[in-house]
Structure 1
Amino acid sequence: MNTDLRTLSATEWDSWLGCIELAFGGVPLSPESRELYAALAEPERALGHWDGAECVGTAGAYGFRLTVPGGAAVPAAGITMVSVASTHRRQGLLTSMMRRQLDDVRSWGEPLAVLTASEPGIYGRFGYGAASAEATLRIDSSRVGLALPPGTDGVRVRRSSPREALDACEAVYARVAPDRPGTLVRQPGWERVPVSDPESSRGGGSPLQCVLAERDGEVTGYVTFHLRPGWDGAVPNGTVAVRDLAALDPASYAALWRFLFGIDLTSVVECGSRPVDDALLRLVSDVRRCEVRVRDGLYVRLVELGAALEARAYRAPVDVVLEVEDAFCPWNAGRWRLTTDAEGAATCRRTEDEPELALSVNDLGAAYLGGVSLTTLAAAGTVRELREGALAAASLAFGSDTQPWCPHGF
């Protein structure tokens, strides 16, 4: 079937978004969500496949900056709103959009592309690797206690309107973002996302609520959440559904969780996405009653391999020649020498030297944020050591003391 692939124009937005709604079940977005997406849209970075007047394929790309190991914020294309109409599947539309999109990202000078996948099996063939994981928790707060660090009692918690507290919360977010690989540095306009609160997204709960942690008049943390009342006969068993939580120090962090665990008429605290190394799991008295589940999070694609590997810091010095396979973006394929110094700075250049590790660009994407070790990938058979000792040295260098996590979707 002959379709037309082109950059989206502003007048085509409603048809383009309608294609996405239909592909994801046909439930219309709420007016608030539709307005927010329209405000954040970057039509000049979005693609559409058109069959006559009908939009049958979509792919967008936000201009983000992504925190990488070492704390730098690297330009990255946030791939989003990818869909193909069910009437036009198996006809190459997705492949053509991914081809055009990665060419565009390269022309924009962004060395990385990132996404969260609706289905994990889709994007590997385009060079994306699963680079982070996220944990969901359902905590029996009626039976799980918290071990509180010193200073917790010195933290004040107080309620605030989410919108009135927005500036204070964003200031905390900006301070913690460099500490966690995979965090998106908030771009202008995106501060609206954490306080967007359409009724359809509440899961039957209350309007969004916000509590701030303070010490000596300074905001040192925040949490936003919904409450879902519930009763088991005459016994209350409401749920606290945590949306966002961040803090600048352990005491403020613990104080916020203590507040959540102690809300009247509730017995469950739910978290839809937390880092897999969340300190909360070391505070709880019984992790088995927290129902921790782990799933894939952020997928990373190295668009300009040399620039991407030079943009992050490394945990240990290493000098290694990589033989990289990249059929979809052949400008990345071949041999690269990655050299890092004691401070973590790196150079990555083309070389004709003998390779010491052989791997795919997917493996590099998975390892890029430090959450997946090259040693693990080698055990899975996707990374091959060609010089003894090269794997251990490179795996150590690529690691991160903090597990990567992307706090919000896009």
Structure 2
Amino acid sequence: MSLEVRTLEASDYSGWLRATRLGFLRSATVSDEEIELRRPYTDLARAQGAFDDGRCVATFRSMPRDVTVPGGAVLPSSAITQVTVSATHRRRGVASRMMANELAATAERGEPLAILIAAEFPIYGRFGFGAAAGVTEWHVDTARAGLRPPADDEDGRVELVDPADVFKSGPELHERVRLQAPGSINRNDRWWELFTGKVQVPGGDPWKEPIFAFYRDSAGRIDGLAAYTVDDKWRGMYPESPLEVKQLIAATPAAERALWRFLLSIDWVTTVRTGFRAHDDVMPLLLGDRRAARIDNSSDFLWLRFIDVPRALAARTYAAPGAVVLDVVDPYGYAAGRFRVEAAPDGTATAEAAPSVAPDLTLTAADLATLYLGDESAVRLATVGQATESHPGAAARVDALFRTSRKPWAIDGF
């Protein structure tokens, strides 16, 4: 029987939500309360389902999100999520059909990028997505850490605050922080409602209220936020309480250092799990014994796909003046072509199609995506045959332009 793939109607939503749960290997039971809370935040025009004899067996939706690029500019993007296919309907091309629909819609809406977080690495490269920003998670033995002394500019203070304070002041802080972190996206009011417990949606993971802390500078401005939970565990009369960081964002280096020192020196806490951080997070540099920070996980996280290459390349800044011509291969066609990027001394750039100009480097749209935010090196790609130089040194020239001083960091999942 052929499968019907289409955008959702209001009457499809409950069955679609059940199919999403099953696709993620969870119970299909969905309460009326959960449907009522989730439905207003699902744009049916951006949601698809595959239906077999009226039953939803695959799901797909996207959301509008602004993503930060190097230099602090933001670009509208299609944030793809809730992609599932029932175990009974795999290998029938359903996900490919829904992705093709979404990429066409993304282009029609004028969004130059599509982004997603991949549950499995091999899936999305064939659709032109590349791993563009990764994460690392550390496990810190606080007894061994040996924190380094504070710097002279750490004259602010850390204070514990209520969820209501976070809901009020957190959004402005996050806007400041995410413009400094390529790969980060904007947050809506619902994100903050869920984060602070103002709204709790049944059917998800159990919510445990974190402990919240602000960092204020000497003038009282909120420059940092930490949220964490602690399990009260003891072995006899000895505390062995693990702390898990749910969020740590900082708009200044002083705030970042002070919040890490605070979390790593709380009484009774013997281990700290950092949560997902940038690959080059500064936390280990604050330790007298960096071996006390053990990497538990280091992985790809945010994947990116070009729809409008010139617009995306012109939006970011570059590390050095110069020009390169990129020949981009894209079977879907959206990013295919030859493009010249010319960066000025101030880092700004122009980018335009240059079909008649000889290329410096040839690569796929997916591989260009890995370079775009500064997570990968063109020289590395050329070394393994994923990029082809037209002349020696071309990959190094690309790296000289595209490199960034820090690794990209997608602060939030979606």
Match of 2:350 among 341, 346, 353: 346
How far apart in 2 are the matches of 1:34 and 1:397?
Answer: 48
CA change 1:46–1:269 in 2 (3 A) is same
Deviation at 1:253, TM superposition (A): 1.9
Deviation at 1:171, TM superposition (A): 1.6
Match of 1:251 among 235, 254, 257: 254
How far apart in 2 are the matches of 1:244 and 1:168?
Answer: 15
How far apart in 2 are the matches of 1:134 and 1:349?
Answer: 33
Between 101-110 and 336-345, the greater mean CA deviation after superposition: 336-345
How far apart in 1 are the matches of 2:85 and 2:266?
Answer: 44
How far apart in 2 are the matches of 1:36 and 1:358?
Answer: 47
How far apart in 2 are the matches of 1:168 and 1:282?
Answer: 29
Q: What's 1:13 paired with?
A: 13
Match of 2:228 among 225, 228, 237: 225
Q: What's 2:53 paired with?
A: 52
Between 160-169 and 79-88, the greater mean CA deviation after superposition: 160-169
DSSP 3-state at the match of 1:5: strand
- Aligned residues of 1:181 and 1:402 also touching (Cα < 8 A): no
- Aligned residues of 1:73 and 1:185 also touching (Cα < 8 A): no
Q: What's 1:3 paired with?
A: 3
Which 5+ residue runs of structure 1 have no aligned equivalent? none
How far apart in 1 are the matches of 2:226 and 2:201?
Answer: 18
- Aligned residues of 1:23 and 1:86 also touching (Cα < 8 A): yes
CA change 1:86–1:263 in 2 (3 A) is same
- Aligned residues of 1:145 and 1:286 also touching (Cα < 8 A): yes
Amino acid corresponding to residue 172 of structure 1 in structure 2:
L
Q: Alpha-carbon deviations, 1:376-407, whole Å to 9, x = none?
A: 11122100100233221111111111211111
Q: What's 2:392 paired with?
A: 388
Q: What's 1:177 paired with?
A: 178
Deviation at 1:149, TM superposition (A): 3.3
How far apart in 2 are the matches of 1:161 and 1:29?
Answer: 33
Q: What's 1:108 paired with?
A: 109
- Aligned residues of 2:18 and 2:29 also touching (Cα < 8 A): no
How far apart in 1 are the matches of 2:4 and 2:122?
Answer: 26
How far apart in 1 are the matches of 2:189 and 2:74?
Answer: 15
Q: What's 2:164 paired with?
A: 163
Q: How does 1:363-374 map onto structure 2 within 5 Å?
A: 363-374=367-378
Q: How does 1:35-184 map onto structure 2 within 5 Å?
A: 37-151=38-152, 154-184=155-185
Deviation at 1:231, TM superposition (A): 1.8
DSSP 3-state at the match of 2:50: strand
Amino acid corresponding to residue 26 of structure 1 in structure 2:
R
How far apart in 1 are the matches of 2:317 and 2:178?
Answer: 16
Q: Alpha-carbon deviations, 1:48-103, whole Å to 9, x = none?
A: 11112211111111100000011101001111000001110011101111111101
Q: What's 2:279 paired with?
A: 276
Report whether the alignment pairs 1:408 with 2:412: yes
CA change 1:198–1:160 in 2 (3 A) is farther
- Aligned residues of 2:196 and 2:209 also touching (Cα < 8 A): no
Q: What's 1:307 paired with?
A: 311
CA change 1:295–1:317 in 2 (3 A) is same
Deviation at 1:117, TM superposition (A): 0.7
CA change 1:301–1:183 in 2 (3 A) is same
- Aligned residues of 2:23 and 2:58 also touching (Cα < 8 A): no
- Aligned residues of 2:18 and 2:30 also touching (Cα < 8 A): no
- Aligned residues of 2:306 and 2:334 also touching (Cα < 8 A): no
- Aligned residues of 1:338 and 1:349 also touching (Cα < 8 A): no
Report whether the alignment pairs 1:322 with 2:326: yes
CA change 1:202–1:212 in 2 (3 A) is farther
Between 186-195 and 227-236, the greater mean CA deviation after superposition: 186-195
Which 5+ residue runs of structure 2 have no aligned equivalent? none
Amino acid corresponding to residue 14 of structure 2 in structure 1:
D
How high is the sequence identity, in percent, across the aligned residues? 33
How far apart in 2 are the matches of 1:35 and 1:263?
Answer: 40
Deviation at 1:285, TM superposition (A): 1.8
Q: What's 2:209 paired with?
A: 207
Deviation at 1:153, TM superposition (A): 5.8
Amino acid corresponding to residue 160 of structure 2 in structure 1:
R
Report whether the alignment pairs 1:399 with 2:408: no
Deviation at 1:300, TM superposition (A): 0.6
Deviation at 1:29, TM superposition (A): 8.5
Between 86-95 and 188-197, the greater mean CA deviation after superposition: 188-197
CA change 1:350–1:58 in 2 (3 A) is farther
Between 316-325 and 128-137, the greater mean CA deviation after superposition: 316-325
DSSP 3-state at the match of 2:164: coil
Amino acid corresponding to residue 371 of structure 2 in structure 1:
A
Deviation at 1:172, TM superposition (A): 1.5
Q: CA RMSD in A?
A: 2.2
DSSP 3-state at the match of 1:25: coil
Q: TM-score with structure 1 length normalisation?
A: 0.93
DSSP 3-state at the match of 1:254: helix
How far apart in 1 are the matches of 2:324 and 2:154?
Answer: 50
How far apart in 2 are the matches of 1:374 and 1:257?
Answer: 33
- Aligned residues of 1:318 and 1:394 also touching (Cα < 8 A): no
Q: What's 1:261 paired with?
A: 264
Amino acid corresponding to residue 318 of structure 1 in structure 2:
G
Q: TM-score with structure 2 length normalisation?
A: 0.92
Deviation at 1:317, TM superposition (A): 2.2
